[in-house]
Structure 1
Amino acid sequence: MNLKEDIQTYIEANGKHLQNVKTAFENFDLKETIEKAAKAIDPTNDNKMFSHQRRVGYKVAYSGYESLKERENDLRNCRSFEEILEITNEVSKQIFRLGQLWSYDTALRIGFQKKVYPKNVYLQAGVLKGYKKIFNRNPKDRFEEKNKFPKELQILEPYEIENFLCIWGNNKKTNPVRCN
């Protein structure tokens, strides 16, 4: 397979789930969004915990929720994804084991509800494997600008590129793509 085919496969197989999650969070009020986002509850999968957040666990995610709900007014006033991420980063630093993945995913879900999205592709956890397949190096920052990625990927939104890289990077059957 090549990158273009891998992207098409992603859109058909995994992209739909992400879009369903986005739609679900768009329809919650902020209070419910904070709870489901922080606890990593997937409203499209019988309210089970998102699989990639299970390492954090219910107890730690609940602690994140308890802290984040205290910031509801701050979140209500956020006008950008980056402002939301700043708040979730602050919360994640207060609670052992929450980390950057929880912070990003929680901010993204809250961003869906507020209809504000990342302008850049955030790089953490499994996403780094996909990033390294493309660039053959570690990133210099926690994010990369969308326009730095191959044009095949630029048809996706930054949060979709992040999701694609995570899935694709962990797929042993895909070959590295080289670009600078």
Structure 2
Amino acid sequence: MISTKNLDALIKQFIQKDRQNIVADLKNYDNIHSAATAVGKNGRKHDHQRRIRPTDLEDFAKRIDQVARRFEQAKSFNEIYAIVNECRIYKIGPLAIYDTAVRIGRLYNIEPQEVYLQQGAKWGAQALGITKNRVSMQELIATNKNFSQLSPHEIESFLCIYHKDLRG
């Protein structure tokens, strides 16, 4: 298990080095379709979705486009996530669902209130003794008070980026 001192240093490093990139990345998607295809204003596909064929992302985006009005009524990130998940097709996994929901949520100023864990973030959380698929902010702050400086989405990004460091 990583020491408190080393975890504090990683959180500080994330805030100084990575936070601005996380914010900039979310601003790269200015409509629901681009959020679902993972292709931003810069014309590049998000690295998390690099293994998904463009045609599969386009099919996924078409399904999301068909229910786009439902996002306007959503009052929480969990609702947005559920709508996106209903649109899932073969080849679209949990990470793409989460990333798409986060990008769409940003369009409506709705952020996750808990930390969703999949892929690298799940590995990072496991290094901290967390084995659930979702975890509350209170539970994470109980592992280290410095997590209170981050939003749930930032914590998910932190756990993903630093999962190897956390596992030692």
TM-score, length basis structure 2? 0.88
Cα deviation code 1:29-69 (max 9, x no counterpart):
xxxx21111001233xx221111111223121111101100
User: Which runs of 5 or more residues in structure 2 are unaligned?
Assistant: none
1:16-165 superposed matches below 5 A:
16-25=20-29, 28=30, 33-43=31-41, 46-92=42-88, 95-135=89-129, 138-139=131-132, 142-149=133-140, 150-165=144-159
Distance across 2 between alignment mates of 1:7 and 1:49? 27
Q: How many residues get paired?
A: 161
Distance across 2 between alignment mates of 1:24 and 1:54? 16
Counterpart residue type for residue 40 of structure 2 = D
Distance across 1 between alignment mates of 2:54 and 2:166? 35
Counterpart residue type for residue 163 of structure 1 = S
Query: C-alpha root-mean-square deviation of aligned residues, in Å?
Result: 1.7
User: Which runs of 5 or more residues in structure 1 are unaligned?
Assistant: none
> How many percent of aligned residue pairs carry the same amino acid?
29
Counterpart residue type for residue 52 of structure 2 = V
Partner secondary structure for residue 111 of structure 2: coil
Higher helix residue share: 2
Do 2:52 and 2:92's aligned partners in 1 also have CA atoms closer than 8 Å? Answer: yes
